[in-house]
Structure 1
Amino acid sequence: MDLKLEVVVVPVSDVDRAKDFYSGKLGFRLDADFPIHDGYRIVQVTPPGSACSVIFGDGLTTAPAGSAQGLHLIVTDIEQAHAELTGRGVDVTGPFHDATGAFHHAGGAQRVQGMAPDRPSYGTFASFADPDGNEWFFQEITTRAPGR
């Protein structure tokens, strides 16, 4: 059985502000904006090159606005991605790597500023948040691990 991640729901407090951020500042493709009825609205955006979309709106989740953590966008050049989003007015932290050389810890624990030594795939990150505080990461992958 194939299972494909299709949609991630991100909790937001202001749908229009989120729409401006994701489709404007981040440059995600705006796929849909369905104002079904008062209190129920669905907005779908898709990151460039991604098969998985992001949905936010009204009446879609009981999760508190800003509570999404650890969402990852994969890039082949983290410095370029950092520069592009910074140029669009997004506050991006990093690049950084984890002191263990593995996946980053939660929060800022074990975070070391700068590129991972020898710049291995999967080893360098940058982060930013949407206007509600939903946490996103860039992860630089230039060569995928076997089977990926």
Structure 2
Amino acid sequence: MSDTQTAPRTGTSPTPPPGPGELRIESVIVPVADVGRAKDFYVGRLGWRLDADFVMPDGLAVVQVTPPGSPTSVTFGTRISAAAPGTLDSLLLGVHDVEAARADLRARGVDVSEVFHDAGGAFHHSGDRERVPGRDPQDRSYASFVAFQDPDGNAWYLQEIRERRPGR
């Protein structure tokens, strides 16, 4: 796609707009060095939906993709962020089965960590500090993870969530 085209929304149902007083994260900006390489990774390798892909006359380039089942998209491009490529850490995606999601990533050719849980038992530390191999021994939701990076080094984590906490 080029110019100001956006992808058609075939096979999806519209998400209702935010209600009064609601705040929703619409998109997360991910800083990348090479827009084409990032698009190949997120769309071609991960299989995320391409929502928009355009370049404005002033050189501003925007690519927006959405992970399967997510109401929040990921946006990258040129001249849309002052952050250095690869500097985002701990972008979190919720999955129902972390082992199945890991197997899917591996089948897609993504370099993904083994399943791990944090030594503290609550949430993962930054980087690979305090990682303990294997699932959470108590098999709790929110406590088992895998990690991978995009081609620029932006760090993504998959967090297993089988049962939501109240109010979520």
Using structure 1 for the length normalisation, give the TM-score. 0.97
Rounded to whole Å, the distance in 2 between the matches of 1:28 and 1:131 is 15
Please name the residue that 2:28 is paired with: 8
Residue correspondence of structure 1 range 83-98 to structure 2 within 5 A: 83-98=103-118
| 1:52-103 Cα shifts (integer Å, max 9, x gaps) | 0000000000100001111011000001000001000000002100011100
Bigger strand share: 1
**SS at 2:115's partner residue?**
strand
Rounded to whole Å, the distance in 2 between the matches of 1:32 and 1:110 is 38
Larger radius of gyration: 2
Rounded to whole Å, the distance in 2 between the matches of 1:48 and 1:83 is 16
Deviation at 1:38, TM superposition (A): 5.3
Deviation at 1:139, TM superposition (A): 0.1
Please name the residue that 1:136 is paired with: 156
2:40 to 4, 12, 20: 20
The alignment's C-alpha RMSD in Å is 0.8
Structure 1 runs of 4+ with >3 Å offset: none
Name the amino acid aligned to 1:129.
Q
Matched, 1:106 2:129: no
Please name the residue that 1:35 is paired with: 55
**SS at 1:139's partner residue?**
strand
Unaligned runs of 5+ residues in structure 1 are: none
Rounded to whole Å, the distance in 2 between the matches of 1:18 and 1:107 is 21
| 1:87-126 Cα shifts (integer Å, max 9, x gaps) | 0000000210001110011111111011010311001000
1:115 to 120, 126, 135: 135
Rounded to whole Å, the distance in 2 between the matches of 1:147 and 1:76 is 18
Rounded to whole Å, the distance in 2 between the matches of 1:37 and 1:131 is 27
Rounded to whole Å, the distance in 2 between the matches of 1:108 and 1:130 is 16
What percent identity do the matched residue pairs reach? Answer: 56
Rounded to whole Å, the distance in 2 between the matches of 1:64 and 1:49 is 28
Please name the residue that 2:93 is paired with: 73
Rounded to whole Å, the distance in 2 between the matches of 1:68 and 1:37 is 28
Quickly say closer, same or farther: Cα 1:114–1:140, change in 2 above 3 A: same
Report the number of matched residues. 148
Rounded to whole Å, the distance in 1 between the matches of 2:32 and 2:58 is 16
Rounded to whole Å, the distance in 2 between the matches of 1:95 and 1:125 is 6
